[in-house]
Amino acid sequence: MASVVIPRLTIVIVTEQYLVWLGLQKLFESRAPQIVVLPQQTMVSEALLMERPPDLIILDTETIRDPASSIGQIRESASSSKIVLLSGLEDNACLREAIKCGVESVILKIQPPEVVFAAIHALYCPTSYHTPHESNNVREGGTFTKTALKPSPLTWPDELTEREREIVALVGQGLSNKDIAYQLSISDSTVRHHLTSIFGKVGVTSRQKLLIHTHHVSKPQSNRRVE
């Protein structure tokens, strides 16, 4: 995977698991020394007591008891801070609720370090999504400032088949591939085939990004094509 440019940032990791905080802190220290990881916080309210809001707040979903309230606190008290969820595979219910409240990205704990850096790069260096004249990014010491224009509104492509739209709706409910297969009376491999097709048409690269997409746009309408 190609290396990405990460800007100078301050990050707060809200987690009750010290090893999670330490692992991320060591990762950033060794591979992105321009990122300052602030002391571990176990509660969102503690993170918001800082004199200056951090650029990025990483929320461990195992720590969040009330996603709506926690994210609401951040939006109200640290509106300039971006929010990234750090999730385990078993945190589906909490993850869905948190995404509904509005977060910038989701990272699974099982994903490799490259995914962490790519997620941060996409948030602060979104030049890949704009032509030069569309972006007002400014270079500072080889990094980008956070003044880029927002990406275009997300939409559902017309090419989605009726079956694919059904699967999108079930993914939005947090169902696993096995649950979707049972619900639609199809095989797991067929579900995976449809998801691969959906990813390509929607323009996402993972189930988590598709899940975020489903909560950022209206429900895809039926196009009367069943496949």
Instruction: Please state, in angstroms and as integers, the Cα–Cα distance from residue 47 to each residue in 100, 201, 204, following that order.
Output: 22, 39, 31
User: What is the per-residue pLDDT for 18?
Assistant: 92
3-state helix, strand, coil in the chain (%, to 5): 45, 15, 40
From 109, 112, 144, select the one nearest 129 (Cα to Cα): 144
Question: Which tens digit of pLDDT belongs to each residue from 47-86?
Answer: 888 778 899 999 998 888 788 888 888 988 888 899 998 8
- Class of domain 9-144 (CATH, top level): alpha beta
For 64-80, the DSSP string reads -S-HHHHHHHHHHH-TT
Q: Sketch the domain layout of the chain as residue ranges.
A: 9-144, 162-216
101-102-103 Cα angle (round to 5): 130
Rounded Cα distance between 104 and 121, Å, is 12
Q: What is the pTM of this model?
A: 0.58
74 neighbors 84 (Cβ within 8 angstroms): no
For residue 196, give the DSSP letter. H
Residue 126 has pLDDT above 70, yes or no: no
- Residue linked to tokens 């489903």: 214
- Helix runs in the chain, H state only: 18-31, 44-47, 67-77, 92-101, 113-124, 162-172, 177-184, 188-202, 207-216
Question: Which tens digit of pLDDT belongs to each residue from 153-205?
Answer: 456 778 889 999 899 888 877 778 888 999 899 998 899 899 989 888 888 88
Both tokens of 49, joined, read 């007591």
Q: Which fold has domain 162-216?
A: Arc Repressor Mutant, subunit A (1.10.10)
Residue 36 phi/psi, 5° resolution?
-100, 115
